[in-house]
Amino acid sequence: MSGKWSDLAPRVASGVVMAVVGLSAVWAGGWWFIALIAVACGLMLWELARMIAPNAGAALFQTGMLGFVSTVLAAMAPVFYALPVLLAACLVGVSLLKKDNVRFVIYCASILFAGYGFIALREDLGAIWMLWLVLLVVATDVAGYFAGRIIGGPKFWPRYSPKKTWSGAVAGWVAAALVSAVFVFYTNMWSGIIIMSILLSFSSQIGDIAQSALKRRTGVKDSSAIIPGHGGVFDRFDGMIGASLCLIVLRLFIELTPAIQ
């Protein structure tokens, strides 16, 4: 297999492993899920730090540990204290790296708040809602990947993400709506999530583009090489970050209830 499909095999293999680990943690909930999110946040902050300040030495590892610890502490703390904990972590990270402070704080806060949003969603509304969000983002990514390569066409935002096309973006929205329709049909989830899913799908694409913009700014192809076929953890979960942040805002205005089958 060569050309534009050359990365498909490692992507699929890595995707299967991530799916098994991720879905198991989602279903188990509790500290299993918190640990998974904390590890992911720690790895993403380490990758963020090495993109922004590749010569920072020990500060890179310290920034990664900061992401892990702050996520765990925020999950343990009352909601009122979670915000200061996560913001403090961003400021400590700045003091460690001493480079590109504004950009680091923006991306660091996005990662940590998205991670906290996942934990809150799983604890407040249960596994089905968390599974819905994960599958929505995965469907967006997969549909966009295949539609972009098969259909092609005009670029979505070539300045920051030259590979993304409008055909892939629209295919992602449709796939997200279909995933939500399945959940509505088989559970008592609110039917309005079918419309809401399109906004979340778009937000996941913006998260992907925002991370692509950072990579172009820092001159790297991937955030790291931890995941074969996908690059780094940040490369794989950038869409989840965008969707989680959007859902955090939506939950301020829309009351969602736990779903049952």
pLDDT of 43 > 50? The answer is yes
> What mean pLDDT comes out for the span 93-117?
93
Count of Cβ atoms closer than 10 Å to residue 87 Cβ: 16
Residue 129 pLDDT grade (very low, low, confident, very high; cuts 50, 70, 90): very high
> What mean pLDDT comes out for the span 90-114?
93
Per the domain annotation, does 258 fall within a domain? no
Q: For the residues of 141-195, what is the DSSP string, one character each?
A: HHHHHHHHHHT--SEEETTTEEEEEHHHHHHHHHHHHHHHHHHHHHS---TTHHH
> What mean pLDDT comes out for the span 2-21?
70
Domain count for the chain, please give it. 1
Residue 8 pLDDT grade (very low, low, confident, very high; cuts 50, 70, 90): low
Cβ neighbors of 240 (< 8 A, separation 6 or more) are 114, 118, 133, 134, 137, 204, 207
Per the domain annotation, does 195 fall within a domain? yes
Per-residue pLDDT at 115: 97
Domain with 12, as residue range(s), is 3-250
Per the domain annotation, does 256 fall within a domain? no
Per the domain annotation, does 234 fall within a domain? yes
Per the domain annotation, does 188 fall within a domain? yes
pLDDT of 104 > 90? The answer is yes
Per-residue pLDDT at 18: 84
Cα separation, 114 vs 44, whole angstroms: 12
> What mean pLDDT comes out for the span 61-86?
94
Per the domain annotation, does 215 fall within a domain? yes
Per-residue pLDDT at 146: 86
Residue 7 pLDDT grade (very low, low, confident, very high; cuts 50, 70, 90): low
Per the domain annotation, does 257 fall within a domain? no
